[in-house]
Amino acid sequence: MRNSKRISLLLIMLLIIAMTLSACGGTNTIKIGMVMPITGQVATYGVQSVNAAKMFVKELNAAGGINGKQIELVVEDDEATPAKTTNAFKKLVSSDKVVALVGALTSKCSLAITGEAQQKKIVMISPSSTNDTVTSAGNFIFRACYNDSFQGQVVAQYAFETLKGKNAAILFDNANDYSKGLTQNFKDKFLALGGTIVAEESYATGDTDFNAQLTKIAATKPDVLFLPDYYSTISVISKQVRALGITVPMLGADGWDEITNNAGDEVIDCYYSNHYAPDANDPEVKKFVEAYKAAYNGETPNALAALAYDSMNILCDAIAKAGTDPDKLQAAMMETNKKFVTGNVKFNDLRNPVKSAVMLKIVKGADGKLTTEYSGTVNP
């Protein structure tokens, strides 16, 4: 009997110790989830975004964390596939018990989870989902990037006013919301400025032969060619553009980021809108770029890396002010008004940041490699 009592007492003590350790672990850390395409077609964006987020967390934790608590970043790979985004979200919320979420990267993936995030009161900030409807699910959904309405207008304004293009042609993916949204907003702005859309051709996701559409475009003799898609597709299209003798400037949006590592001389003297310029003479930008290069083998961070870094900064700044209670955290997010790497961020009523965009020109550097240079800022 005495041994039985001792065993029972020992078991109780072990249970108390286990519960204490578990409580301490939960008390001393704040879990933040991140959903990014670490593999798949746009993995370059996802990997750099995760790298930047991890760099921010490392810096913040080294400085003492948030009110003495360390940040734990839990990352899930969605391969830029909405179904996998949904599964990643459920795991992060149900199993990992994250208090907030950074992601997803693409608009279609973010849209797959915004409704559930709103329902569960999970503060979610997408670094890079530009589709206008991403934040429509409700007041817990934010983004760090400007939306397609603004971005499409930026490119149209630059094409008409700076490049003096009066006749524009467009080639877009008719199954991609990102591509379609940019096309519509480019058209609306270009026409409003007094320009003419002389050709509007489309293709399907995954197509590799664009010669039929480009032949029609060439016949209209445009001044500029707008190509709203991601770098992997643009690197294929641009070669066919030049092969058909179309020599006008090609223009794109932030999906072109990384085009300099995937295309050749055919994209020299072409332009795209982006969220920041790595060569900008700005203290925040310089500090970020230098730190990223030091951490990741001299690699220059792309715009999505900068946006992911800012997203973590915005979120953690709000947690520091309000804690992790969902309603208080959401309110603190709405009070954001601060200078970050990609510019000053202040959210409007739809949780979209009011911020400027930059235009980048593709050039050949002194080392013979393609690079970009800052070519102007367009304010909202």
Q: Supply 181's token pair.
A: 């949204």
- The overall longest dimension of the chain from CA atoms, in Å, is 98
Q: In the chain, what are the domain boundaries? A: 25-146+281-347, 149-274+359-378
Whether 135 contacts 143, CB under 8 Å: yes
More confident residue, 23 or 208: 208
* Fold of the domain built from segment(s) 25-146+281-347: Rossmann fold (3.40.50)
Q: What is the mean pLDDT of the chain?
A: 93
Check: pTM over 0.85? Answer yes or no. no
At 20, is the pLDDT very low, low, confident or very high (cuts 50, 70, 90)?
very low
Would you say residue 151 has pLDDT above 60? yes
- Per residue in 187-218, pLDDT (tens digit) is 999 999 999 999 999 999 999 999 999 999 99
Concatenate the DSSP letters of all residues of 135-152 into one string: GGG-TTEEESS--HHHHH
Per-residue pLDDT tens digits for 29-68: 999 999 999 999 899 999 999 999 999 999 999 999 999 9
Distance of alpha carbon 155 from alpha carbon 134, whole angstroms: 21
Which pLDDT value is given to residue 6?
52
Quick check: 19 pLDDT over 50? Answer: no
The CATH architecture assigned to 149-274+359-378 reads 3-Layer(aba) Sandwich (3.40)
Are 313 and 340 in contact by the 8 Å Cβ rule? The answer is: yes
Torsion-angle region of residue 325: left (phi > 0), alpha (psi -120 to 50) or beta? beta
pLDDT at 239 exceeding the cut of 70: yes
